[in-house]
Structures are given as C-alpha cells and as structure tokens.
C-alpha cells in the first residue's frame, strides 16, 4: 500500500528553517512534538556550521555546545516533569540565526513499527467516523508519520521523507485517509495510555507495508541468526500476503537509525505476514531467532536496556490453508522470553470480508487496547491481567489429553465461547482442537473445561483406541490460518494457539 508523502528534506514550516539558514534541528523533531519526560534526559540535535558554538534554551535551561567537524550539535536537556508547553531554541553564535521548536510537551514517547497492519489507518478501521471525531479531545497526544520515501544500504543521519510532521491530535491529524495517516493500532494504544495516566503521549508511526523482519534488523541483529546481508529474493508470496521489498537492513538504515539518539520509552510492533512462507529456514525457528535479536539490538542501539516492547500476534488470515501462519505465530511468541516484552494476540479478530483483504482486519481497537494493557502491566507496573491463557504443559490420559495453563494467564478462570469457520472459507483453513496419534494421523478433537484445565478428547466420529501401538503424541489448538478461538479467560483474552508434543 502506498502512502502519500507530503514532505521531503527541504523546509517544513516550523520543522526547519529555510535552506539558506545556518542552523536547524534534525528532521525527526518538530514543533508540537512530545519529548521524553523524566527520569530520562531528552536529547535534541541538529546542524549548523562546523565548530559553531550553539546555545540551546528550554524554559530555565540554557547551555552551549560546540558543533563538530560536520556541523552537527547535540545536547541533553534536564530531566523534566510531564507537561508544557515549552519552546526550545537553538542559536548559532557564528551566524546569529535561530531554530525553534514550539508548543513542545514532555511525556512518554513510543515508536510504532512494522508493516501494513501497523500502517493501517484509523480511517479504515471499524467505527472510523466516531473515532476520528473523538481525536479532537486529545490535544496532549502528538503524532508523527514517517514517509515511505527512503530505503538505504547504509545508515542515514536523517529521515528521507516525512508523511506527517509532528501534529497535535485532531480530526485532521488522525483521519487523513486510507493508508495515509494516522496508524490505527498506534493511535488506539496511545489513546488508552493517555486515558489511563493523563500524561502527554508522543506517537511515531514508522512502518512500511509488505516488509520482512530482515529489513528492520540491523547488521548486528542479522548476524546473530546467521542471516547474510543479501537481497531478500528468496521470499515466496503467500496468497493474500504482501510482496516484500528491498534488502536486509534497508529500513533499519533509513527509518530507525535517524531516531537512535532520541529518547523514548518503548515501541510497539505489528509485523510478520511478510515472513510467512519464506521457506523452511525462515519459518518458526528463523523468526523466533531474528525477531528476538531485533528487539535486543534495538534496545542496545537506543541505549535503553529496559525499553518496553509490545507486539501483535498475527490475526486470522486466509493464507495457504497450511500451518505456515501458525508456525510464524509460534515464532513470535519466542520474544516473550525477553524482559518487558508483551504480546497482544489478534487471533480472535479475523475479518474475512475486509475490503482491504483478510490479511488486513478492521478491528484495530481491541488490538490497540491489548497492547496498552501489556504496557500498563510491564512498563507502568499496574496490576492487571493482560494476556490470554498460555499452555504450560499437557499429558495424555488414554485417548484424552489434559492441558494445563500458566497460572499467571488464567485471570479469574476459564470460560468457553462458541466459534465457527466463516461462511465461504474452506474448512482446512480453520481449526480448533486436534490430536495426533503415533501413527502420524491427525484427528479432530473437542475441548472441555474442567476447573483450570482443558480436557481434549477425540471427536465422536473418530475411533481410536489407545494401545501400546497407537497413542496420542501431540495436541494442537487453533494451529491454522484461522484459529477457532473457544477458550478464554474471564477477562476476555483468548487462549494462545499452541502445538504441544506429549512425548519427545
């Protein structure tokens, strides 16, 4: 999907001074933005003439710094309480010129990355008109959208294109149009945080449809998973998926590196579709390695060891009728082994009739709220249930399997809800429970809640007698393109799909 670019590296109203001026801030900054609040010290930087003495003021703060050989200057501001507005001025001693950032707030800043489901705009989501009109009430949320104007084989110091300069949240800033701005998942995530804590929120929408995790991973992250820096031509397009573009690290270089000196508190991520069907070496095992490596590398390069990172587990999607999407979802879950990483699953929000294709469901509100819940629990340390039931172990009992769940994900207890394959979707795309026997055959099964466990039994139309020769070896739940989600905790979070080996 293409996004209209409304700015390039020239002269954006308050973002830059005109080209003839001798001093300006980097184009990742702009009037109406949010800078990271205490305890971090926000950093601002820009460009003047080489060795120029630059004086920066913000409120009662005033300090000077010398620009380097290339004319770049950088200065850390004092740790600042949430609020504002502030005017930040950078003044050149050599030229006497000034650059200004006006109406700046201090609060919490998040980067929202990934591919088209993160790019998917509020204008395209369910209840769009109501949601866009409500944006006028949120003037303390500030938004920016990076343009799709640049890929680069080498790291860039500034953004190559900007679709939306830093803006005060409003109908115009949030509802600009389909695939333009603003990101629905990013908006609903940030809005819920603001409603909860009432501190300014800065949201950077930084995404590109159809892109694999390799594009967003730097060379150091790629090296951890034995991924060489070659053109990603091995990608196999899955029906309904997006076509990947570019080379490994091309978007890391162009769309992440320019932000690395900026202080922020976390990131959210919706990506994975472009890595489905990339071949055996790029399935569950590869994504499990590369996605986790990317998160760790981002934290290292942003110099934020405890950077919050939330991601979306892929929604139902008419892909190939195989287990490829399910395997990718499992690969995503590996990131949960890292600290302060939260997963918002979308497996119960399929949208077969979406005008944007089933890969682009319109129910973005619940996804944003679930991401916000992970941040509230992991970042802000609020005590709340934020995850659906996750399998801890399972054991066979004759023809049945007893599934136990991680107690921390049970919430107030388990409950069952009905689910059915959408009309018109072939049955092989949908799945609830399955049992595999030692003769390698898969059998449809049914689950029954018994206390805090689920007992899985063969369906009535299947005859399978447990014996020394034939026994149950694997239990699966929702392990398909289109999971049939029937198990939830009472807080409304669906059980996470799984494939669990009983033996070996």
How confident is the model over 277-295, as pLDDT tens digits?
765 445 678 899 999 999 9
Task: Give the domain CATH number at 236.
Answer: 3.40.50.1110
| Cis ω for the linkage preceding 85 (within 30 of 0) | yes
Residues ≥6 apart with Cβ < 8 Å to 320: 238, 239, 277, 481
Quick check: is 59 in a domain?
Answer: yes
Query: Does one domain contain both 423 and 449?
Result: yes
Q: Domain boundary residue among 347, 378, 409?
A: 378
Both structure tokens of 168: 């005060």
CB 202 within 8 A of CB 194: no
Quick check: is 42 in a domain?
Answer: yes
Q: Say what the pTM is.
A: 0.91
Rounded CA separation 357/380 (Å): 36
Which long-range CB contacts under 8 A does 435-438 form with residues at least 24 apart? 435/399, 435/401, 435/472, 435/474, 435/475, 435/476, 436/472, 436/473, 436/474, 436/475, 436/476, 437/464, 437/470, 437/471, 437/472, 437/473, 438/469, 438/470, 438/471, 438/472, 438/473
Query: Does one domain contain both 290 and 322?
Result: yes
Query: Does one domain contain both 339 and 222?
Result: yes
Check pLDDT > 60 for residue 303: yes
DSSP H or E run through 343: strand 341-345
Identify each DSSP E strand in 133-213 by its residue range: 141-146, 161-168, 201-207
Query: Does one domain contain both 23 and 58?
Result: yes
Task: Give the domain CATH number at 48.
Answer: 2.60.40.10
Q: How would you classify the pairing of strands 161-168 and 7-8? A: antiparallel
Quick check: is 1 in a domain?
Answer: no
Smallest Cα–Cα separation from 406: which of 395, 419, 392?
Answer: 392
Rounded CA separation 237/122 (Å): 27
Query: Does one domain contain both 90 and 32?
Result: yes
pLDDT tens digits, one per residue of 143-199: 999 998 788 999 999 999 999 999 999 999 999 988 999 999 999 999 999 999 999
Query: Does one domain contain both 267 and 206?
Result: yes
Quick check: is 79 in a domain?
Answer: yes
What residues make up the domain containing 100? 7-105
Task: Give the domain CATH number at 494.
Answer: 2.60.40
- Per-residue confidence (pLDDT) for residue 322, from 0 to 100: 87
Quick check: is 205 in a domain?
Answer: yes
Residue 345: phi, psi to the nearest 5? -80, 145
Q: Domain boundary residue among 348, 378, 408?
A: 378
Rounded CA separation 133/128 (Å): 9
pLDDT tens digits, one per residue of 333-352: 999 999 999 999 999 999 99
Instruction: Give the total number of structural domains in the chain.
Output: 3
Check pLDDT > 90 for residue 228: no
- Per-residue confidence (pLDDT) for residue 10, from 0 to 100: 31
Query: Does one domain contain both 186 and 320?
Result: yes
pLDDT band at 19 (very low <50, low <70, confident <90, very high): very low
Choice among 212-216, 396-400, 462-466 with the minimum mean pLDDT: 462-466
Check pLDDT > 80 for residue 242: no
Rounded CA separation 30/233 (Å): 37
Name the β-bridge partners of 73: 46
Query: Does one domain contain both 222 and 332?
Result: yes
Query: Does one domain contain both 164 and 307?
Result: yes
Quick check: is 384 in a domain?
Answer: no
Quick check: is 468 in a domain?
Answer: yes
């Amino acid at each position: 999907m293409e996004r209209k670019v409304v700015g390039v590296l020239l002269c954006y109203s308050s973002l830059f001074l005109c080209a003839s001026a001798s001093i300006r801030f980097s184009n990742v900054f702009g009037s109406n933005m949010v800078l990271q609040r205490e305890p971090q010290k926000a950093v601002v930087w820009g460009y003047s003439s080489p060795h120029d003495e630059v004086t920066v003021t913000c409120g009662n703060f005033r300090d000077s710094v010398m620009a380097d050989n290339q004319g770049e200057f950088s200065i850390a501001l004092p740790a600042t309480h949430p609020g504002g507005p502030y005017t930040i001025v950078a003044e050149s001693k050599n030229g006497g010129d000034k650059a200004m950032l006006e109406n700046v707030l201090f609060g919490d800043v998040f980067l929202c990355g990934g591919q088209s489901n993160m790019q998917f705009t509020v204008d395209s989501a369910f209840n769009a008109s109501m949601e866009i009109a409500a944006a006028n009430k949120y003037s303390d949320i500030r938004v920016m959208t990076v343009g799709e104007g640049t890929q680069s084989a080498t790291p860039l110091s500034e953004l190559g294109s900007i679709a939306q300069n830093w803006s005060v949240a409003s109908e115009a800033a949030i509802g600009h149009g389909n695939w333009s701005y603003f990101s629905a998942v990013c908006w609903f995530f940030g809005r819920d945080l603001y409603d909860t804590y009432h501190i300014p929120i800065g949201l950077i929408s930084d995404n590109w449809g159809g892109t694999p995790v390799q594009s967003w991973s730097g060379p150091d992250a790629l090296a951890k998973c034995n991924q060489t820096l070659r053109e990603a031509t091995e990608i196999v397009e899955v029906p309904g998926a997006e076509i990947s573009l570019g080379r490994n690290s091309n978007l890391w270089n162009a769309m992440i590196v320019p932000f690395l000196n900026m202080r922020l508190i976390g990131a959210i991520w919706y990506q994975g579709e472009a890595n489905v069907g990339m071949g055996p070496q790029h399935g569950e095992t590869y994504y499990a390695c590369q996605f986790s490596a990317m998160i760790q590398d981002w934290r290292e390069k942003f110099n934020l060891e405890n950077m919050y990172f939330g991601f979306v587990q892929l929604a139902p999607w008419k892909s190939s009728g195989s287990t490829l999407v399910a395997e990718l979802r499992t690969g995503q879950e590996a990131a949960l082994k890292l600290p302060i990483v939260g997963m918002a699953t979308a497996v119960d929000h399929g949208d077969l009739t979406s005008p944007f294709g089933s890969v682009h469901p319109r129910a973005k509100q619940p996804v944003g709220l679930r991401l916000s819940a992970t941040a509230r629990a992991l970042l802000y340390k609020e005590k709340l249930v934020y995850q659906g039931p996750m399998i801890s172990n399972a054991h066979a009992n004759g023809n049945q399997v007893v599934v136990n769940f991680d107690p921390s994900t049970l919430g107030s207890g388990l409950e069952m809800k009905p689910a059915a394959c959408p009309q018109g979707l072939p049955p092989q795309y949908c799945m609830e429970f399955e049992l595999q026997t030692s003769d390698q055959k898969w059998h449809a099964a049914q689950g029954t809640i018994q206390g805090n466990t689920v007992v899985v039994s063969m369906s009535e139309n299947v005859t399978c007698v447990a014996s020394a020769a034939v026994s149950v070896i694997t239990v699966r739940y929702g392990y398909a393109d289109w999971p049939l989600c029937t198990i939830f905790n009472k807080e409304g979070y669906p059980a996470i799909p799984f494939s669990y080996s009983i033996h070996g």
